Amino acid sequence: MQAGCRLPLRPPRLGRAAIARRRGANSSISCRAIERAPPDGAIAQVIATTRAYLDHNATTPVRPAVAEAMSRALAMPGNPSSVHAEGRAARGAIEIAREQVAALCGAKPSDIVFTSGGTEANATILRPGLSDCSGARDCVRAPVSLLLYSASEHPCVRDGHHFPAGQAEAIPVDQNGTADLAWLEARLARLAAEQPGWRALVSLHLANNETGVIQPVTEAAVIARRFGALVHSDAVQAAGKIPLDIEALGVDVLTLSAHKLGGPKGVGAIVFRTGALELADKPLRGGGQERGWRAGTENLPGIVGFGVAAHEAGQALAGEATRLAALRDRLESGILALAPGTAIFGAQAPRLPNTSAFATPGVQAETALIMLDLAGIGLSSGSACSSGKVKRSHVLSAMGVDPAMSAGALRASLGWTTCEADIAQFLAAYAKALAANPNRRAQAAA
């Protein structure tokens, strides 16, 4: 018999004992271990020197246990929809992952629908015609026809929804980036009075991707309920960073993305509070996978990786939140010591423990990012780049931040690979960037 002619049929070992063993093995990994991984091809130049990666809100490095589980899943030959042993093994691996993702957000496994990411999950839900049903043949409530979303939502919500222009409105935010619930209540009351046949869908992200500001989702859900509105929350940035319980939040549906919590890119989830939501015209139809919400053969390795990432993030949540908050506070105090005029955006509101958005007067974000990158620091700007042009952050604009200040906005976001040495490396590099900044020198001379 030729070597390798038999394919492994057993599913990835994803049980609690195996995961616990992996966590024990990973717990001693130093914060620099990811840079010491053997370089391969084009990435060798990037990791030739020790770098501080402070861009976890953009994507979090894949956890070692996730990579290992995905490698095993890649070797599984079966289609999860097939009834033979190979297919059943693949299906079993997916259902384990479904349980793990459900556990992260207090949901039932049967109410998890896997997608290709957070953007697809949001685009699927944010459509006219979404309704809740009694469980009988016909829906007992009217479908939604008006979308109300916060002005600081991610672009995939602001620009990716499928409501007509006249049926989508932005909820204002205050100077801290917190949604104006008085405005929301007044708008829902006006809708009930002026258009009694209409029903709203309120979309309020749990935490902002730029500033880390945590939104009053539970309070918004209480208001929405009084007017019969449905509630969606994009929890992509919050999952794995703060406790997440869909029942406690009171929303009808959450959306998630694996690569924000140490899982792979290209896989996300829709999380329903109950099985009562329905959408007559689902965007992807075909084989009926994922309870008919998302047709197409499931991304087995990605889903398995998502499950392990959700489990690991959930297990480490309490300790990591405390650890990362301390590192974030150290970073911010260090920045303020270097440049006392620096603004920390959203600092007066509840924030994610890992996120800091700031701007120093006289510093341009694009210049600072280049200098920091050359110094071995990876982080992001609060401004969005499009076609080579830097545009003002819509989040900071909604918060009323001065355009000159928002032009210098930077975001540092920490995660499981971050340690004190990364913060010290950043502060040393930022001090040099400030010293080399001609605008800062001119201000000091004046």
Q: What is the pLDDT of residues 308-330, one digit of tens each?
A: 999 999 999 999 999 999 999 99
Distance (Å, rounded) from C-alpha 212 to C-alpha 321? 13
Q: Which two tokens stand for residue 227?
A: 């007017």
d(CA 431, CA 335): 8
Specify whether the backbone of 129 is left (phi greater than 0), alpha (psi in -120 to 50) or beta.
left
Percent of residues, the chain, with pLDDT higher than 70: 83
> Given 31, 105, 385, 419, which residue is catalytic?
385
pLDDT of 23 higher than 50: no
Q: Tell me the per-residue pLDDT of 277-295, one tens digit each, with 9 for 90 and over.
A: 888 777 777 677 777 677 7
Q: What is the mean pLDDT of residues 209-224?
A: 98
pLDDT band at 24 (very low <50, low <70, confident <90, very high): very low
pLDDT at 364 (0 to 100): 93
pLDDT score for 20? 40
Quick one: tokens of 435? 């010293």
Q: Nearest CA to 422 among 30, 31, 28?
A: 31
The arrangement of strands across the sheet holding 355-359 comes to 343-344, 355-359, 410-413, 380-381
Average pLDDT, the chain: 87
CA-closest candidate to residue 121, choices 277, 311, 351, 350:
277
First to last CA, the chain: 82
Are 284 and 295 contacting, i.e. CB atoms less than 8 angstroms apart? yes
Phi/psi of residue 283, each to 5°? Answer: -70, -30
pLDDT for 282 equals 77
pLDDT at 135: 55
Whether residue 2 is predicted with pLDDT greater than 50 in this model: the reply is no
Structure tokens at 110: 């049967």
Domain annotation for the chain: domains and CATH numbers: 86-310 (3.40.640.10), 317-445 (3.90.1150.10)
Residues 6+ positions from 11 with CB-CB distance below 8 Å: 73, 76, 89, 90, 92, 93, 96
Instruction: Measure the CA angle with vertex 148, ends 144 and 153; round to 5°.
Output: 130
Mean pLDDT of all residues in 217-229 = 97
- The answer to whether the CB of 395 falls within 8 A of the CB of 211 is yes
For the chain, the C-alpha Rg in angstroms (whole number) is 23
- Per-residue confidence (pLDDT) for residue 278, from 0 to 100: 82
Q: Is 70 exceeded by the pLDDT of residue 190?
A: yes
When pLDDT is averaged across residues 368-376 and rounded to a whole number, the result is 96
Does the annotation mark 105 as catalytic? no
Give the count of alpha carbons within 13 A of 361, CB side only. 9
Q: Which residues pair with 413 in a beta bridge?
A: 55, 355
Q: What is the mean pLDDT of residues 234-253?
A: 97
Confidence of residue 351 (pLDDT cuts 50, 70, 90): very high
**E strand or H helix at 183, and its extent?**
helix 181-194
Q: Is the pLDDT of residue 36 over 70?
A: no
pLDDT level of residue 335 (50, 70, 90 thresholds): very high
- Which residue is associated with the tokens 């749990």? 206
Phi, psi at 205, each rounded to 5°: -65, 150
Contact 308, 19 (CB under 8 A): yes
Strand duo 52-53 + 253-257: pairing:
unpaired
| CB of 302 closer than 8 Å to CB of 269 | no
pLDDT at 291: 78
- What is the pTM for the complete model shown? 0.87
Q: Are 170 and 151 in contact (CB under 8 A)?
A: yes
Sequence-ordered list of residues with C-beta below 8 angstroms from that of 157, at least 6 positions apart, any chain = 122, 126, 149, 203, 205, 234
DSSP calls for 128-191:
TT-EE--SSSS-SSPPP-EEEEETT--HHHHTT--S-GGGEEEEPB-TTS-B-HHHHHHHHHHH
- Which amino acid does the sequence have at 4? G
Please give the Cα distance from 340 to 342 (Å, whole number). Answer: 6
Closest CA to 163 of 199, 196, 190, 188: 199
Does 27 score more than 70 pLDDT? no
Question: Do residues 76 and 282 lie in contact, with contact meaning Cβ atoms separated by under 8 Å?
Answer: no
pLDDT recorded at residue 12: 46
Decide if pLDDT at 436 tops 70.
Answer: yes
Which residue reads 């932005």 in tokens?
A: 170
Least confident of 4-18, 47-61, 339-353, 386-400: 4-18
As a whole-number percent, the residues of the chain with pLDDT over 90 amount to 72
